[in-house]
Structure 1
Amino acid sequence: MVIASIAAVVLIGAALVVHGWPRYSPPPQPTAAQGLASGPPSASPSGAATPLPPATPTRVRIPVIGVNAPLTGLSLLANGHLDAPPEADRNLAGWYQAGITPGESGTAVIAGHVDNTQGPAVFYNLGALKKGWTIDVDRADHTTAVFTIDAVQAYAASSFPTQQVYGQTADPELRLITCGAGFDKSRQEYLGNVVVFAHLTGSTRSKSV
């Protein structure tokens, strides 16, 4: 199953759609306790770190769910949709390279497949993440941006909150997105998306630099 596309609204919007039916257990979905209590996260999240300068992200790491994946740049297609990472590579995610780089002020976006025809893919367990857990994004300037999760939310495609997810913020924030929110067997597609909201809480620098 593959991510299809997301329309360009603000940064990018709409829903990621996947086709097919898994021959394995459905991906975990976030509980209500992990969602946004009301509205978007605070404009000034507790513990927000100083923004980093722009630098190309190279890898996303979430050890608690076994994610350690290289990143590829994603661009918009002629129809205004975001291209998807190559579906054949199960351990590959992509970032919207015309937008914010993870760590600088604003909202950065990383998308990944939930699965493909071979089985679970890089963001299969995204829905199992919890508030307060961390996400590391390695960058080409030899820094690692550390983000703390504020919420994990599932959205139906029919009610995807584009501005809430992709709207720009004063602080450095990150959104991870994949398919989820249930599966329609008759249409052979997921019903929406799982979105992780996170904000920058620190950074580290490679000792070799």
Structure 2
Amino acid sequence: MPIAKGGPDDQKLVDVADKLAYELKNPEYSGTLGYNINAKVDRDTQHSPGWKFHEYELIGIPIRVELGLRDLEKNQVTIVRRDTGVKQFIPIADAAKTIARELGQMQNDLLERAREARKKYSFVVDDYEDFKKKLDEPGGFLHCHWCEKATCEEQIKNETKATIRCIPLDASDRLTPAVEQGRCIKCGDKSMSRVIFARSY
């Protein structure tokens, strides 16, 4: 985002921004990510930088790149990751490589944060009363035995607003063994594995 002041150097800002956007689309930088990087130069002169920052936050732009006249004098750009809000000052020559690296790091950080939250709010439950209490406080993902009857699932949904979110297949998604005999938390019939119940909000 070139931060133009309506002066003679504004075009220089746009030119540097265009060059950086072009570099970011180069597979050399996006190749390690597994997806292409999309970069757009903001040429809007009607709105203030503060308004644009807020707009980008709402849209969900992962990394905002700012380039003002002072940045140009110092031969740098300012980048801000949406997930941390931390400003970094990067030499223009290293900007494309750094932004690509930060996008990869951001993906890893968000994935790790999501895994930690899932782990914190995942519980093994074997009793229907405990199931109802845990749904209310603290909420989360309840790993429970289920008899595979639609009637039980429907009763649980009507009574608690919780539904089956998934049947864990991957070992990393399970808190218990893949095959584990137990009893359906609702009707008490035999069950050979657990499913994950949760409320949707």
TM over 0.5: no
Give TM-score scaled by structure 2 length: 0.24
Give TM-score scaled by structure 1 length: 0.23
More helix by share: 2
Of structures 1 and 2, the one scoring higher in RCO (CA 8 A, sep 6+) is: 1
